[in-house]
Chains A and B, each alone.
Chain A
Amino acid sequence: MRKSCLLLSQGMKYTMKIEDENYVLEYEENTGRISIQGSLRLNGLDEYAPLLDVLVNCMQQSDAMFVDLSALEFLNSSGIAMFSKFIIQARSKENFSLELNGSSQIPWQSKSIKNLQRLFPALVVTFH
């Protein structure tokens, strides 16, 4: 079952966490950093909506955003569609910088992150 919670930290900035048995999404508002770990195999964009909300909310809150996917082992095609949708929204925001961190060891990432970069040429992609 999916759980969402707000974790208050110092300076009244919050960390948001969405997780189930397969994945964890963490959002630190003060740093504009989102990390997703595990394996995302949700069914359709409806089930991805809460995650997309976090991404879009983070984009609206900050001018610079860092998304760490280096520990996201698997992302199904609906998940890729969600990222595509997010990138299409993000590219229309002026003076917005977005950095994606991925892992070259994970098969789905090389192809999909490249497609994301094609959607948003200003997207900074780092692999490690």
Chain B
Amino acid sequence: MQPRHHNARWQIISIILGYVLIVGLLGLTTKVGLDNINALNESLKTVVLQNNIKARYISEMSDAIKKRMLYLHTTIHIDDPFEIDAIWEIYSAAAREFITAREKLTAMSLTPDQLDQLDGQRKVLAQAQPLLDSTLNAVRDEDKDLARANILKAQQLNDEVIKDLQRMKDLQQEIAESAVVNSARAISKARNRILSLIAAIVIISFFILVAVILIIQRQSQNVSSLLSRLEQANTELEDKVVQRTEELLSSREENARMGAELAVTNKLQQMLLPPPVELEHVPELTVAASMSPAEEAGGDYYDVLRYDGQTIIGIGDVTGHGLESSVVMLMTQAAVRTLAVSGQQDPVKFVSVLNKILYDNLQRINSYKNMTFMLAHYQDGVFTACGQHEEMLLLRKNSDAVERIDTMDLGFPLGLEENIDAFLQTCQIPLSVGDCLLLYTDGIPEAQNQAGEFYTVERLIAQFQISRNLSVQQMHQHMLNDLRAFIGMHEVYDDITLMLIKRET
């Protein structure tokens, strides 16, 4: 903001300077114009005054000559010598008047032409003087004819002088008139000069005005663009606040929805697992089983069913977690029970049909879920298994070693392929009294501790062996405890299913 203030100060200073300049120029122009006009006025006044004086002197000279001629005429008719002398006095006075006026005129500033004229007149008058003198003498001598003849001659000469004086007067008039014309020109010149100066001032001030207007306009544009940017930023901020609020609200809704989904999923999963009371009533066998879901519910499945004198045991693991996995598990449970109720005795057909049911349903819901699944029929001491799942661990009563029975070649993940008959096989395991079979899902060997180590099947086998003298329930509890101790505070990634089956009788 600092440079902006700086700019504003400079603009104010330049506007003030502009005004001072305009006022100064106007003052100067006015002064120059007034001086010029005053000077012209003075010179015009002088010219007029001098012209008047000159005209008066010329008139006086002319009058003196006329007066002299008049008195000269008068003398012709007068006989009285005294009277003639008196007139002579007047005549002489007129001559003196003429000379005085001429001297005054000569003393004034005259043009060379005028001076020549005056000189010419003097000669004419000098030529006339003897005539006048002889005329006066003739009058005194009473020679009236001579006097009359001289007067006529003198009259002519005088007329010449008077005409000359008149011309002089006219010339003077012309000079005066031309002076008036010249001064009028000078005044108009001065006026033009003033007008052009004023025009220049007007143009300069116009440019200054335009510049000031442009600067102000640009500044106001800057301000308005800043304002609109500010407004835009404000709107964006408001939008962001609204958007964020909506996001928060929707994430709250999303959280609520996910929480509800999780609750439903857990409920579904737990609802379909066999309750302990069912497990207690399986003939010949003691079964201990549990499934503890991961933090996000998954798709582990196990079941123990009894129909037509057969015990049907199933275990499986649907890929992934969440509602979809649980729904697949629900389908599996219902289909297994349906097949069991329908009396399907052939494990291969059982698993084959189950695969087809799951495959068709998964295609319908456009899901790429699949599941490992193993089904076993138990009857009369024989455990017949079919389907691909984890290894089965078998601890014979009379052996310390745990047998690992691979199920890889007993089947194929369910729901991936429409027909898996080519991969299905059965495996018969005779169970003697006291033999114990352990089934699990991959959540156990793949459980990790804080150090990132896997629990592994080997560790499970070791715990199986360690706890072999405990009751089935206690063994089950022991192994789960060991697993929990191993995991510690580490995250549980997958569902953990552990099932122990021991032949008691």
User: Which of A4-12, A38-46, A61-69, A93-101 forms contacts with chain B?
Assistant: A38-46
* Docked pose: A43 CA to B413 CA in angstroms: 19
Contact call B494/A81, Cβ cutoff below 8 A: no
Contact call B493/A77, Cβ cutoff below 8 A: no
Contacts of A44 in B (CB 8 A): 320-322, 324
How many chain B residues have a CB neighbour from A under 8 Å?
26
**Which of A41, A81, A82, A111 is within 8 Å of B408, CB to CB?**
A111
Contact call A81/B296, Cβ cutoff below 8 A: no
Contacts known (A111-B408, A115-B413); A84 close to B370, Cβ less than 8 A: yes
Contacts of B319 in A (CB 8 A): 77-78, 80-81
* Docked pose: A43 CA to B296 CA in angstroms: 10
Q: Name the residue of chain B whose CB is nearest to the CB of A110.
A: B408
Contact call A119/B322, Cβ cutoff below 8 A: no
Quote the shortest CB–CB distance from B453 to chain A (angstroms).
12
Q: Name the residue of chain A whose CB is nearest to the CB of B322.
A: A44
Contact call B416/A77, Cβ cutoff below 8 A: no
Tell me, yes or no, whether A107 is within 8 Å of chain B by CB: yes
Contacts of B413 in A (CB 8 A): 84, 115
Contact with A along B311-325 (1 / 0, CB 8 A): 000000111111010
Tell me, yes or no, whether B417 is within 8 Å of chain A by CB: yes
Contacts known (A84-B413, A107-B445); A77 close to B408, Cβ less than 8 A: no
Tell me, yes or no, whether B303 is within 8 Å of chain A by CB: no
Quote the shortest CB–CB distance from A31 to chain B (angstroms).
28
Contacts of B445 in A (CB 8 A): 107
Contacts known (A43-B296, A107-B445, A119-B416); A78 close to B423, Cβ less than 8 A: no
A111-127: which residues lie under 8 A (CB-CB) from chain B?
111, 114-115, 118-119
* Docked pose: A85 CA to B494 CA in angstroms: 21
Q: Name the residue of chain B whose CB is nearest to the CB of A41.
A: B493
Contact with B along A74-110 (1 / 0, CB 8 A): 1011101110110010000000000000000001100
Contacts known (A44-B320, A118-B412); A81 close to B446, Cβ less than 8 A: no
* Docked pose: A41 CA to B296 CA in angstroms: 13
Tally of A-B Cβ pairs under 8 angstroms? 50
Q: Name the residue of chain A whose CB is nearest to the CB of B390.
A: A111
Contacts of B372 in A (CB 8 A): 77
Tell me, yes or no, whether B10 is within 8 Å of chain A by CB: no
The 9 closest A-B pairs by CB, nearest first: A77-B319, A81-B319, A78-B320, A44-B320, A85-B368, A78-B319, A45-B368, A84-B416, A81-B368
Contact call A88/B416, Cβ cutoff below 8 A: yes
* Docked pose: A85 CA to B368 CA in angstroms: 7
Tell me, yes or no, whether B369 is within 8 Å of chain A by CB: yes
Contacts of A119 in B (CB 8 A): 416-417
* Docked pose: A78 CA to B317 CA in angstroms: 11
Secondary structure dominating the interface of B: loop
A-binding residues in B (CB < 8 A): 296, 317-322, 324, 368-370, 372, 388, 408, 412-413, 416-417, 423, 442, 445-446, 454, 456, 493-494
**Which of B370, B408, B416 counts the most chain A CB atoms within 10 A?**
B416
Secondary structure dominating the interface of A: helix
Contacts of B368 in A (CB 8 A): 45, 81-82, 84-85
* Docked pose: A114 CA to B456 CA in angstroms: 20
Quote the shortest CB–CB distance from B415 to chain A (angstroms).
9
Contacts known (A43-B321, A76-B493); A81 close to B412, Cβ less than 8 A: no
Contact call B446/A74, Cβ cutoff below 8 A: yes
Contacts of B446 in A (CB 8 A): 74, 76, 108
Quote the shortest CB–CB distance from A56 to chain B (angstroms).
13
Contacts of B417 in A (CB 8 A): 119
Contact call B321/A81, Cβ cutoff below 8 A: no
Contacts of A108 in B (CB 8 A): 446
Contacts of B416 in A (CB 8 A): 84, 88, 119
Contacts known (A43-B296, A119-B417); A77 close to B442, Cβ less than 8 A: yes
* Docked pose: A80 CA to B319 CA in angstroms: 8
Apart from the given pairs A80-B319, A115-B412, 15 other A-B contacts in the complex at a CB distance below 8 Å = A41-B493, A43-B320, A43-B321, A74-B446, A76-B493, A77-B317, A77-B319, A77-B372, A77-B442, A78-B319, A78-B320, A81-B369, A84-B370, A84-B416, A111-B408
Quote the shortest CB–CB distance from A104 to chain B (angstroms).
14
Q: Name the residue of chain A whose CB is nearest to the CB of B325.
A: A44
Q: Name the residue of chain B whose CB is nearest to the CB of A81.
A: B319
Contacts of B296 in A (CB 8 A): 43
* Docked pose: A24 CA to B372 CA in angstroms: 27
Quote the shortest CB–CB distance from B333 to chain A (angstroms).
18
* Docked pose: A85 CA to B408 CA in angstroms: 20
* Docked pose: A59 CA to B57 CA in angstroms: 134
* Docked pose: A74 CA to B453 CA in angstroms: 11
Contacts of A118 in B (CB 8 A): 412, 423
Q: Name the residue of chain A whose CB is nearest to the CB of B442.
A: A77
Q: Name the residue of chain A whose CB is nearest to the CB of B456.
A: A107
Q: Name the residue of chain B whose CB is nearest to the CB of A80.
A: B319
Quote the shortest CB–CB distance from B262 to chain A (angstroms).
13
Contact call B494/A76, Cβ cutoff below 8 A: yes
A-B pairs with beta carbons under 8 Å apart, 19 shown = A43-B296, A44-B321, A44-B324, A45-B320, A76-B446, A76-B493, A76-B494, A78-B319, A81-B320, A81-B369, A81-B370, A84-B413, A107-B445, A107-B456, A108-B446, A114-B408, A115-B388, A118-B412, A118-B423
